[in-house]
């Protein structure tokens, strides 16, 4: 799997917020084996603890994917992205332009506009979007090479609310990396996303708020591996009727 030409062996991308302690965060990242971790520039610098936090993340040796979490306008998202590039020294940016305060659903109109601006500025944009095919096409036209459709509202743990829509995205964009972003609650949700043909899953709350974040991080990574293998194995389609696994031919005839 490659994101903008960078090889990423692990299909799990992990957020870094809401963990009980920095040590548990580090242990969870190591247990999961992730190669990419996401960081919110706005949130983590708000309490003045930024420098130590950045050093902790840098020591882990993962790719840093800054995000524009909390941005509700194009200008806000673009400005935050430029600040993140200067701070982290990376052109990668997870682009969020929130349009609804309760569901945190993306403002797809602002998202496409911000993506166009950032792509023209040399950013490698990872857009947090809905599972709408037309929005996906417009993001690709704007310069994005990856799409990140939501599974459910951020932090809800509802799993995949519209699996058919995700399946349609896979069929419509066969050569585009697809990352399910947000809504995953359990390892079974992550496994299902990979069974649908997604390339990766990005999650945060499901691990950070688990009773044992380290064990949950490991479980999520294992679920993704199983789901991907299941997809590649070309599973059987569901049937309306029972089909015996043992043929009737050759059975004993009892008088």
Active centre residues (catalytic)? 94
Report the distance separating Cα 118 and Cα 227, nearest Å: 33
Task: Take residue 217 and report the two structure tokens written for it.
Answer: 């991080």
């Amino acid at each position: 799997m490659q994101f903008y030409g960078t090889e990423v062996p692990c299909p799990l991308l992990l957020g870094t917020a809401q963990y009980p302690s920095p040590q548990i965060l580090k242990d969870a990242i190591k247990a999961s084996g992730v190669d990419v971790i996401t960081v919110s520039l706005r949130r983590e610098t708000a309490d003045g603890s930024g420098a130590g936090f950045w050093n902790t993340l840098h020591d882990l040796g993962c790719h840093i994917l800054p995000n524009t979490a909390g941005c509700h306008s194009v200008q806000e998202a673009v400005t935050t992205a430029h600040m993140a590039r200067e701070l982290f020294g990376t052109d990668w940016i997870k682009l969020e332009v929130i349009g609804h305060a309760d569901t945190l659903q993306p403002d797809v109109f602002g998202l496409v506009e911000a993506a166009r601006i950032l792509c023209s500025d040399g950013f490698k944009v990872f857009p947090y979007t809905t599972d709408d095919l037309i929005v996906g096409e417009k993001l690709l036209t704007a310069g994005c090479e990856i799409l990140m459709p939501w599974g459910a509202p951020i932090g809800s743990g509802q799993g995949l609310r519209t699996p058919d829509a995700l399946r349609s995205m896979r069929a419509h964009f066969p050569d585009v990396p697809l990352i399910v972003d947000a809504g995953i609650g359990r390892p079974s949700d992550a496994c299902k996303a990979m069974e649908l043909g997604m390339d990766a899953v990005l999650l945060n709350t499901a691990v950070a708020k688990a009773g044992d974040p380290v064990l949950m991080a490991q479980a999520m990574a294992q679920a993704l591996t199983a789901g991907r293998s299941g997809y590649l194995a070309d599973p059987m389609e569901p049937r309306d009727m029972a089909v015996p696994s043992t043929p009737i031919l050759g059975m004993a005839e009892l008088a």
